Amino acid sequence: MAKRPKRDEPAILYEQPRYPDDLDELVPATKPKPVKRSKHPDQPITIDVHVRLQAIAIREQDGQYSIAVPGLTGCYSSAETLEEARANASDAARLWLESQFDTHKDAVIEGMRQ
């Protein structure tokens, strides 16, 4: 269990596994979604990719937590508790990645075809 951070100490919202086998404790096992094959072989296929990111939470003077995901420029959130911070950081990262995918998908496909 992570220790409670001091008032000005950043809280890392990801706990390092104690042993390599402990990864199952951190990431619940999920069955991969079946890939839908296109009838047209030249059509792109979307594949779900699961990633692990670290977020940083800093406890502010009012007791709230400010959250940033350094690997995702501009991905921020806030929360009242560390438990809420973990959930909000995860939601913020998912929404950030989804928006980037939607924004850049067509340009990436075009670049891959050239």
| Assigned domain for 47 exists | no
| Assigned domain for 21 exists | no
Q: What is the pLDDT of residue 17?
A: 43
Conformational region of residue 85, where left means phi above 0, alpha means psi within -120 to 50, and beta covers everything else = alpha
Q: Which residues pair with 58 in a beta bridge?
A: 66
Q: Of 17 and 88, which is predicted with more confidence? A: 88
| Assigned domain for 102 exists | yes
Mean pLDDT for 48-65 is 92
Q: What is the pLDDT of residue 42?
A: 74
**CATH code for the domain in which residue 65 is found:** 3.30.160
Domain extent at residue 63: 7-15+52-114
Q: What is the pLDDT of residue 80?
A: 97
| Assigned domain for 58 exists | yes
Question: What is the 8-class DSSP label of residue 19?
Answer: S
Q: What is the pLDDT of residue 88?
A: 96
Number of domains in the chain: 1
Type and span of the H or E element at 24: helix 23-26
| Assigned domain for 97 exists | yes
